[in-house]
Each structure stands twice: as C-alpha cells, then as structure tokens.
Amino acid sequence: MLRWGLSTLRTVGGRGTPPLPIRFYASVAPLRHPRRIAHAAHIGPLTLAVDSKSASPSHELDLADVRCVVTPSAFVGPSSSPVCLSGVERARTHATSKTTSRPPTHVAGPPGGGHEAPDHVASPLIPPVSPASRLKENRNHTPTVPLRVHNVRPTAPLPSDLLHTFLYWRNLASPTPTKYTADTLISLYLHVKSRSELHCLTSSNKTILISLLGSLSISSPGQPLPDCVYIQPFASQMDKHSFRPHWSVILELVGDKEGSGSDLSHSDRYWAMRAHIETARRQADCRSPSHPISADIPSAARVHYSRLFPFICDPEVHLPYLEALVSHGSTCLHETTEHICALMSRLEWCHPLYVEFFFHIALRYGNTLPKPLKSLLLSTLSGRLAKNLQGFEDTHPVIVEEKEKGTERHVPLTCRSLVRCLSDAIFSSPECLAVSLHAQAKDWLISTGSRIFSLDPADEGFTLQWNNLLLLGMLHTDPDAHPPLDGAMWSCSHPNVTRVEVDWQVVLVLGLLDKSFGGNLPISDDTKGGIRQLLSTVWQTWVSVDDDCRPPFVVASVLSIFLRLSGIIGDPHLKNTCHNYFLSSSLCPVDLGRRRVVESVIIEHMVASVGCGTREWDSLFSPFGDIMEGDASWRSTIGCMVLCRLMRRRSDSSEALFLLASRSGITLSGEVMFARGRQFLSLGHLDPAIHILTDNRLSDAQISKLFGHICLALAQRRSVYLHPQISAALVDVLGKISVASLFQEFRGGVEYICIVLSRCGFVKPVFSTVQAIHQASPTHPSKGFYFRYLKVLLTHRQYRLAARFVASVIKSRPYEAPLWHSRLLYALFWGRASRMASRTATILRQVAPTRFPYVSPTRLLYERSKPNMVASLWLLRRLGTDSNPTFIRYALHMTLQAGRIRAALKLFDRVRSEIDPPLRTVLGNMILHTHLLRRSVRNARQVRKILSSLDSLIKEHGFIPDRVTANIVVKAILRWDTAVDADLVRGLFDHLIRNGYPAGSRGGKAPFGTAPSAFPHKFRLPTIDQQLSFKRHVRPLYRMFIKAFHLRGDFHGAKVVIGILRDVKRQKMGEMEIRERARQRGRRRVIGKYHTSVEEMDVPPRQS
C-alpha cells in the first residue's frame, strides 16, 4: 500500500499538488488485542505528503521525505489542520513485536517545517469522519501538523533493515543478540543488492559482514576461533551449519564495496586476499594433473597483500600468502624469500611461526637454492644476531666486566642449551636476552657471534655457514619434517676454518643427534652403526682443532653429549677416548669454579659405562679415583645423580645398582628415593611406592608430588575399595601434606582418593582435607565431586559433617542452596535424624519460599513414596474387567506403594487362582520386599516381620518361595548390624555356600572355614531347589555381602567375596562363549542340511 502511494505521488506529483487521500488508518492508542478493534478510536484516513523542500518532479522519493497526513475533519473544531507523521520509521517501530527497525542513528527526524503535536490530543475527542466531508476538506491545501501516532497496521520489515540491525554493534555486543544463519545473511544481502539498496548499508556494516563470513570460512564448529587480528568474535555464536567456505560471497562483497566508492579497510583486504588464494587453490584441485598450476594464480591477491605488508605483523596475515607462494614451487621462490627476510629483518621479535617458515624454505630446497637467496637468508640471520648482541651489550655491560674480573663460576650446559641460547640471540629482542640466556653463553655469543654466519658469498667458508643454517633449521623443526642428517652437510675440510666455526658446527650436529636419539626409544642395529660412524668423524674433526682457548663449559657440553650417545649405542671405544681427552683437557685439575662442569662429565661417563655393560658400583668410580679421592660427600652426590638418571631412563640395571649403592655406604638423597618411587609407579608396583612415602629422606615437596602421582595411579585402576594397610598409610600422609596445593596438578587423583578413603571408613580425616581444598579453590572442584562426597557422608550416617559440608559449599555457590538443602533434607529424614531434618526444612523454606512454601519432612516423605490412594482403589475396581498379568502386577505395585498391605494381600488371594505359579511367586516377593522399604521400623522388628510374613504367605496364601525370596530375607538379616556381627555374616555366607551357591575356584568348600553351627537356625532361611541365575540371584546376593563386610570393618572378608564373585563371573562368561559357539555351529549345520536337501530335490524344468 505504501509503495502504491509513493508511485501515485510520483505520477501526480510536483510541488503544490494536493496529496491524494489514501486509506491508511492509524490509532493514537496502541491496540492491546487484535480482536478488540471496536474499542479503539480511529483518527481517520491518513494521506501521504511530500516535503516541499526535498521533493521535486525529478527527485526520487526517500522514505524519510514521506509524511502521513490526517485531514482536518479528523479533529473537533473549525481550526483543526491535517496531522503529519515524522517518517515511516516511527510507525514501523511500533508495528509489531517482530518488526525490526534500524538503530536510532539511522532514524530520520521530522521533515522540515513539521513540529510535534500537542500532548492534549487524545483519541476520545476524534469523531468518525464521513466520506463526503473527507473529500470536501481534501480539496483545500492546509499546512500539516505532525502527530505522534502509536500504532499503524503492521508492515513487513525491509531486508536492508534486518541486515543493518543485525550488523549494528549493539546487537553484536549484546548478551542476547539477534542471530541469523550464514545462508540467511547471504540471502538478505543478495535481496538488498537486487533492489539497488546497497546505499542503506554503511561501510562498517559491509566490513563486519565480510569479516564474519571470512571467520566462518576458516573456523570449525565447536572449536576455538583462530588467533587472528581480523577474526570476528561473533562467529563463535553462529549456527554450526554456517561454518563452511564463503569465499565467492566475500569476493562479491568486496567488489560491491569497492565499486560503490568506499575505501577498503585492512580487514577487507585481508579477507579478499584469503578468498583469492582459496579460490585459486580450489580451481587448481579441480584441474587434471596434465595441466600445471599457473604462476599467476596468486596475482589477484598480490595487490591486497602489498597494501597490508607495511602495516601488519600478525603471522596469520602473512603466512597464508607466503604458503600460497610456496605451493607454486620454484616459480615464486624469489618473491617468497624476499618477503620472509624483509619481514624478519624489520621485526624486533620473531614469532615462532615465522621462524618455522623461514627454516622450511631452507630445508625444502637445501643446496638447490640459488646462491643469492642463500646469501639473503644468511645475511638475515647474521644481521639479526649482530643487532641483538650489540643492543644487549649496550644495555647490559655488567656481564663483560664480571667476565674480566673472573668472579663468575662455570655452569654445566648441554649442546641443546647452547643451541637454544643461539636461537634466542637471533630471534628474540635484546630485552629478552637478559632473562633467557645464561651468563656464560651471553659472553661467548658476544665474542663469537659475528663469525657464526658468513656474509660474503665469495668466502671459502660460505658452504660451512650454509650447512650451519640447515643444522639450526633441523633443530627447530620436527625430525619427520626435515631430511636425514648427512655427513657431507658438516664437512670442514678446507684450511681456513676457524675454531669458533668448528665448535658451533659440532654443537649443532651433536644437539641434533641428542634430539633425535637421546630419548628412551629403541634404536635398531643399522641405525646404531650409522650413528657410530658419524660420531667418529665428528670427533676427529673436533679434536683436530686447537682447544686452548675453548671455554670450559663448551668442552664439558661437547664431551657430555659424546659420552651420552656412546652409552646409547654401546660404544666403549668412544667412551674411553672421551675419558682420555677429559683427563688431558683444561678441565683437569678440578678447581672450585669448574667443579659443577666436571661433575656433569663424570655423571655422563658413569651412565655411559652402565650402557656399555658395567654392573659393578666400584668400577664406575675407578676411572675418577684421583679426582674424587678423599671426598666422600662428592662421591655420594654423584652416585645419587647417576641413580636418578638411570631410574628416569627405566634402565634394567637401576635396581641392582641401587642395592649395590646402599651396601657400599653411599648416602642416598631424597631425590633418589623420589625417582625410585616414580620408577615403581611406572612399572605398576604401588605397594613399594606407597612405602617410600614414609621415608624420612624425602622433603615435603617431594612427598606431596609423589603422593599426587600415587593418587593418579590409583585412579587409573578404578578400585572401589583399598586394602586397609594401604588406606591407613595414605591417610597418615594426607594429614602431613597440603593437598590443596596439589589439587590443580593432580585433580583427578585427589578427587578419587578422597572418595575411596571415605568409603573405607576414614571419613573425618578426609573431611578436613576436602574442606581445605574447598577453602583454597572453591570453584575448581566439580559439582559431581561434591555430590559424590556428600553421598558418601550420608551413606556412613555422618549427618553433622554433611550439614557442615553443605553449608561451606553454599557459601561459594549461593544460587545452588535449594538444591543442596533439598538433597540433605531427604537423606536426613530417611536416616531418622528428625531434629536436623526440621532445621534443614526451616532453612529450605527461607532460601526458596516460592519453590518450597510448605516444606516439611513428613510432606517430603509423602510426596516421594505415597501415590494417590484413589488411583489404587480405581485399579482394584478395574481388576474385575481386566485380568492381564501385566495389569495385575501394576495394580499390586501401586497398592503396595500406597501403603495398603492388607488390600494387597486380598488382591493376591483374589487373583492367585487365575495366574500361573511363576507370576504368583513374583507377586509374593513384591509384598515381602515392601517391608524392607519401611526404614522407620527397627532392624530387629523388621527381621521378625519379614519372617512372619513369609510364613503367612506360605501357609495361608499358597506362596512358593524362590531364590529372590531368600535374597530378601538375607538382606533383612544383613541390615541388623547390632545383632549380626562380622563373624555371624561369615557364618551366613558359608551356610549359603554349603547349600549350593557357587564358591568360584574354591569348589564347594566354605571360604571362611566356619562350622555349620556358626549360623543360628532361628532365622529360618527357606530351603529352595531351583536353578541359580548369576544375574538375578548370585551377583545381587554377593554384592550385599561385600557391602555388609565393609560396613562392619571386615575388609578381608570383603576381598574374599570379591574374589569369589570375579571367579564366578569368569566361569559364566566362559560358559556363555561355549554356548554361543555351539549355537553358531548348530546354525551352520542346519543351513548346510537345508542347502543339501534343496540340491537333491528333482525339480521339473520351468515351461516357457
């Protein structure tokens, strides 16, 4: 209707032309109900008017220029004038609750010349207008008076309004935003574009839409969004079906935005570059292998990347473009190398992704890379190293002064530590070097850094420096991502090689070998032979250079790696050669400043001796007898470190060497005992590991950490109960350490051990631990752990501790107070703790007055266990017309749940002649089991009641007991904990074994060896001759005995029953497997006979 009015205005229009009357009724007051239209006073027909300042015959109308006019006849009085609406958006905002409007910043104000209507205008003063007076007054041109109209007939919102409202920043930042799927957004945009309304969307709207679709294209549902500066955070709230590529739509959006004259932002250019790259990649995948990929494919993205390169340093912006260049092979290699080198040269700190990509180029092409590009890569590394070292020397000159004074002691460093220092000096900033590098490595890098990488391609050592770069790249990448180490890669045969270059190349080679083979993985004999040959060549090269000026920590680090690798491959010749070089080097004689460096070499030599076959403790110390002569403490320290190294490597000889060391009088430290405990846990020996917890040599931190590892090992086993001695030992340790500090690292193990120790009877010691954990970190333990622990407290009838625990939990989670109080209230009432239940009910009425207005223990019990008694009476009346066995069983169940036992007995007498004996037994067991549900009755009275009810059912009602009946009687007897102690429970179990219940591998013998008179015959268990079922009879009965033994503290009896239950279960599983195999064989036999009989039949040929 509105569009028809606009077209009419364009046809008739022009300035000064009176508007045509258009029926467009509106009401001053909003309509509360759509059917009560008669109660709303109408203003009359509204007419459309065009603002005289903005309308012209050739001017295309905009919605902000259109006004709704009410004729003067709509008002009372001769001086009334037409009323004008200030834009269509004012009416559309209040149209319907589902109508979407633009944000306030885009709502047009009142047209020129209009003003607001007076507030005294009301709908009762507006009489109905006749058509004649309306036509008469429309002929007169009168000035319009705007009126704030509250309601118009609802109109559908435009797609541009929906899209603009969705992309508005307040909606994207709202906790309850308006959400659309990606398909809906794309459809809205295409609809807006088809209607030539793209001018309704701002430049920021288009940028947000482009980044949103781009984020959905590179993300996966359920996964965190990629770490990129141009990711739209709202993408995490989108529908899972929206996560798929939208690159073609992104290219269309960017083209439309650029075609409209708007400038592209950095975000637009980034997503346009990604779209061009992915589109080209998809086209290349669709091509046949005979058509090679064109080198001009990423050229469409080159313009956008060139605009982004000077301003952005995020690796997620540069790496997609660089990887696209690399995918084209050697055609774009020069451009790729220039980009990554220029990027790393200008950055103060290189991201690890940049470093990985830098070495990926060098390792992928290797020696086939052109020499100018090799020079570019080497100059990049040398430039960064020189700049960082110079900056570090300028800002931290204290290190050099200390070196000149000789006050700094040498610290042992491995080759991998030296390589890490070199990498930090190249790729980190000077400010980070003061924290990451060792003092000795800093000094050595400052003095030798300029000679590590060559800058002159004409230099004879250029090949050596390039090989150093390749070795450094191998150390920065995974072993599977780089080519294998080649002996020609580190050749040093030319005469002008300096000592520094040889030292660094040897450090890089040994660091790479240590990274690849220094772990505990097995190595084949062929690989060991190759390593042995390579180590021999590297050793000859290293010792051929004068070592008078080598720092002691460099000599020690190189010797340590040679010794470690010789022990791994089992090369005693290399080990002895390293020992002889050590005795003749600058490390001997040992002074106070070099003691730790020498100590690292001695430890590696002893570990290598064990790897080469030495098993005598004195033989390990004999090569260094002169060095350690008269120093027993140093000898013990080195022996402890050697044992720790062997235990961490899980060496087979560590146990024998441990015994030899203890017999030799060496004082073993707490570190050795801790490593021994970890070794026991790795082998699955929990008992000796728990015994180590009581060792006095362990510090508090070591005890806590070993206890955490033991808890994790126990949690992996998932044992429901623990041995009493193990439980007592763990509880003793639990009281000495702070478990709250271990909870973050060993959360699963600590939660498990608290639950299990509470089940084993140590409720109060564990309660203080749980309280300490809750006070230290109230939000870290899960709700499931709290529920399980509360259940254990209530099972052991620790109601006061349970109330204290609930109070402490509610302090940190006040919004869960009704849930915790209601659970506690149910348990307190069923446990007959009436006073605490009353207090809890009062608290529950205070914290949740709307949910529990009349809560009380009696009411809760009635609502939980009592069904409607009228329903039970109706079921009894229906039995006269429905004799279905299922309905009979349901009727008896509802009658028993309603507490009408006498009615249930009458029902049983009434239907027992109509049902078969198995169903009669089931109904009788239901009646008998109802007495066990009455927990308010004392245990003694309950046993007497069940026995008397059983006699009554047998004698008066014709009940036939079965194995389930026996289980019900045993359950009642086991509940009587005051008269039935652990010895009587053992006698009862032996009595059942003698009467035919399975005993597992023990045969028919009584497992506890009690006399037949140990079980009193006053309980009168029913004598039953029925086949046993493991699922219905044996397993429930044995589980009841396990629980009874634990509640009485007889853990040995519980373990015996658990073992019998496991044996019986294993036997039943074997029998089931045998029966299944026989069934399969019988089925195949029958099928074979059927096929044979069909083939032997004389079937006449079919006539055509």
* Per-residue pLDDT tens digits for 1044-1074: 998 888 888 999 999 899 888 888 888 887 8
Query: In b/e form, how buried is each residue of 85-124, taking b as 16+ CB within 10 angstroms?
Result: bbbbbbbbeebeeeebbbeeeeebebbeebeebeeeeeee
Handedness of CA 85, 88, 89, 93 (dihedral sign): positive
590 or 962: whose pLDDT is higher?
962
3-state SS class at 166: helix
- Beta strands 83-84 and 145-146, pairing class: parallel
Size of the chain, expressed as the number of residues it contains: 1104
Q: Which residues pair with 83 in a beta bridge?
A: 70, 145
Cβ-based neighbours of 51, under 8 Å, separated by 6 or more: 65, 67, 111, 112, 113
Cβ-based neighbours of 894, under 8 Å, separated by 6 or more: 867, 871, 872, 875
Distance from C-alpha of 659 to C-alpha of 677, rounded to nearest angstrom: 15
Q: Show contacts of 139-142: CB within 8 Å, 24+ apart.
A: 139/18, 140/72, 141/16, 141/18, 142/72, 142/81, 142/82
Per-residue confidence band for 875, with pLDDT thresholds at 50, 70 and 90: low
Cβ-based neighbours of 1013, under 8 Å, separated by 6 or more: none
Distance from C-alpha of 687 to C-alpha of 292, rounded to nearest angstrom: 66
Any idea which residue has 């074997």 for tokens?
Answer: 1070
The percentage of residues in the chain with a pLDDT greater than 90, rounded to a whole number, is: 6
Q: How many separate helices (H) and strands (E) can be counted in the chain?
A: 47, 6
The pLDDT assigned to 8 comes to 55
Distance from C-alpha of 794 to C-alpha of 799, rounded to nearest angstrom: 6
3-state SS class at 1074: helix
Give residue 62's Cα distance to chain centre: 53
Sheet holding 46-50, edge to edge: 46-50, 66-70, 83-84, 145-146
Query: What mean pLDDT do residues 594-611 have?
Result: 82
The pLDDT assigned to 273 comes to 92
Closest by CA position to 308, among listed 320, 322, 318: 318
Any idea which residue has 């010895």 for tokens?
Answer: 983
Residue type at 501 in one-letter notation = E
| 3-state DSSP of 730-794 | HHHHHCCCCHHHHCCCCHHHHHHHHHHHHHCCCHHHHHHHHHHHHHHCCCCCCHHHHHHHHHHHH
433 or 366: whose pLDDT is higher?
366
Query: What mean pLDDT do residues 899-925 have?
Result: 84
3-state SS class at 970: helix
**pLDDT(71) > 60:** no
Distance from C-alpha of 1004 to C-alpha of 1002, rounded to nearest angstrom: 6
**363 and 326 in contact (C-beta within 8 Å)?**
no
Distance from C-alpha of 189 to C-alpha of 159, rounded to nearest angstrom: 8
Our CA angle for 70, 71, 74, nearest 5°, is 85
What ranges make up the beta strands (E) of 279-328?
none
Any idea which residue has 């003793």 for tokens?
Answer: 732
Closest by CA position to 485, among listed 464, 460, 510: 510
For residue range 957-989, what is the model confidence (pLDDT) as tens digits?
888 888 888 889 898 888 888 888 888 899 889
Q: What are the backbone dihedrals phi and psi of residue 582, each rounded to the nearest 5 degrees, phi first?
A: -65, -40
Burial class of residue 154, CB neighbours in 10 A (0-12, 13-18, 19+): middle
Q: Which residues pair with 693 in a beta bridge?
A: none
Q: Which residues pair with 50 in a beta bridge?
A: 66
Lowest mean pLDDT among 172-176, 430-434, 475-479, 962-966: 430-434
Cβ-based neighbours of 25, under 8 Å, separated by 6 or more: 42, 43, 44, 45, 46, 153
**344 and 353 in contact (C-beta within 8 Å)?**
no
For residue range 2-29, what is the model confidence (pLDDT) as tens digits?
666 656 545 544 433 344 343 333 333 3
The most confident of the ranges 55-69, 868-882, 929-943 is: 929-943
Query: In b/e form, how buried is each residue of 871-904, taking b as 16+ CB within 10 angstroms?
Result: ebeebbeebeeeeeeeebbebbbbbbbbbbeebb
**pLDDT(850) > 70:** no
Lowest mean pLDDT among 233-247, 462-476, 813-827, 1080-1094: 1080-1094
Q: Is 613 left (phi over 0), alpha (psi -120 to 50) or beta?
A: left
Distance from C-alpha of 523 to C-alpha of 651, rounded to nearest angstrom: 15
For residue range 820-832, what is the model confidence (pLDDT) as tens digits?
888 888 788 777 6
Q: Is 19 left (phi over 0), alpha (psi -120 to 50) or beta?
A: beta
The pLDDT assigned to 190 comes to 92
Per-residue confidence band for 217, with pLDDT thresholds at 50, 70 and 90: very high
**pLDDT(555) > 70:** yes
Q: CA of 527: how far to CAs of 479, 488, 523, in Å?
A: 15, 18, 6
Q: What are the backbone dihedrals phi and psi of residue 684, each rounded to the nearest 5 degrees, phi first?
A: 90, 15
**221 and 243 in contact (C-beta within 8 Å)?**
yes
Our CA angle for 409, 412, 414, nearest 5°, is 150
Residue type at 135 in one-letter notation = L
Q: What are the backbone dihedrals phi and psi of residue 513, each rounded to the nearest 5 degrees, phi first?
A: -65, -40
**pLDDT(271) > 90:** yes
**pLDDT(560) > 80:** yes
Q: Show contacts of 612-615: CB within 8 Å, 24+ apart.
A: 612/566, 612/567, 612/570, 612/571, 612/572, 612/575, 613/570, 613/572, 615/653, 615/656, 615/657
**pLDDT(441) > 90:** no
Closest by CA position to 279, among listed 250, 255, 259, 258: 250
Q: CA of 559: how far to CAs of 173, 413, 511, 548, 600, in Å?
A: 61, 11, 12, 15, 10
**266 and 311 in contact (C-beta within 8 Å)?**
yes
**pLDDT(676) > 60:** yes
For residue range 137-162, what is the model confidence (pLDDT) as tens digits?
444 444 444 444 444 455 678 888 88
The pLDDT assigned to 215 comes to 93
**315 and 351 in contact (C-beta within 8 Å)?**
yes
Lowest mean pLDDT among 87-96, 406-415, 617-626, 686-695: 87-96
Distance from C-alpha of 681 to C-alpha of 949, rounded to nearest angstrom: 55
Q: Which residues pair with 27 in a beta bridge?
A: 42, 151
Distance from C-alpha of 948 to C-alpha of 312, rounded to nearest angstrom: 89
**271 and 230 in contact (C-beta within 8 Å)?**
yes
